[in-house]
Amino acid sequence: MSEFTQIMGAIQAGDPLAADQLLPLVYEELRKLAAIHLAREQPGQTLQPTALVHEAYLRLLGGANPEQWHSRGHFFAAAAVAIRRILIENARRKGRLRHGGGLVRRDLDQDSALLPEPQEDLLALDEALQKLADLDARAAELVQLLYFAGLTLPEAAQIQGISPRTAGRLWAFARAWLRDEIEGSAGGGDIS
């Protein structure tokens, strides 16, 4: 039995010190995952990878009854969902009028004005992902594992219990569907 599995068993048994033993095992991977997601964010992001990791970790293990994870992959899939929720909550908070509403922070660096703005909108992605979950829950889960957990296609396929080839087809469908949904809603038309 792996050290991760032993510690998870101790957490589920109610050992108050077990959570302290888990953090060093998963911290670097969670920090890399957080850094990847924050790099995708629009300029002006105030969250730091360390703060994002700590918030996600508290959500995963901070409750009175922490979830039960069956494997390391299952834990990181849950971490990806927690990170996604934190980023979405942060984006919604920043979108409120009292937090600046539609104002965009701009640096006075002349070179940055020449660069195109990122096209990614986390709130639009979240809304489209929720619609995809209604249409095909397995495809939405695969997107979360790939995009938010940073897993490879074979790793995500293994967690979902499907073949890598099936995962590839599902990923192609999900990407195309999400692109149509996001671009359709941004353009004002309804593609569904």
Domains 1-105 and 119-192 share a fold: no
pLDDT 10s per residue in the chain (192 long)?
678 778 877 877 777 777 778 778 788 888 887 887 777 776 666 777 888 888 888 888 776 555 666 777 778 888 888 888 888 888 787 766 554 555 565 555 544 444 445 445 778 888 999 999 999 999 999 998 888 888 889 989 998 999 999 999 999 999 999 999 988 865 544 443
Residues 178 and 140: their CA atoms lie apart, in Å, by 10
For domain 1-105, give the CATH number. 1.10.1740
Is the overall model pTM greater than 0.85, yes or no? Answer: no
| Local structure of 136: helix, strand or coil | coil
Sorted by where each begins, the domain ranges of the chain are: 1-105, 119-192
Q: 147-170 as b/e, with b when 16 or more CB fall inside 10 Å?
A: bbbbbebebbbbbbebeeeebeeb
- Residue 87's nearest CA partner among 116, 51, 130 is 51
For domain 119-192, give the CATH number. 1.10.10
Cα–Cα distances in Å, from 98 out to 58, 94, 101, 177? 27, 8, 7, 34
Cα-only R_g, the chain? 19
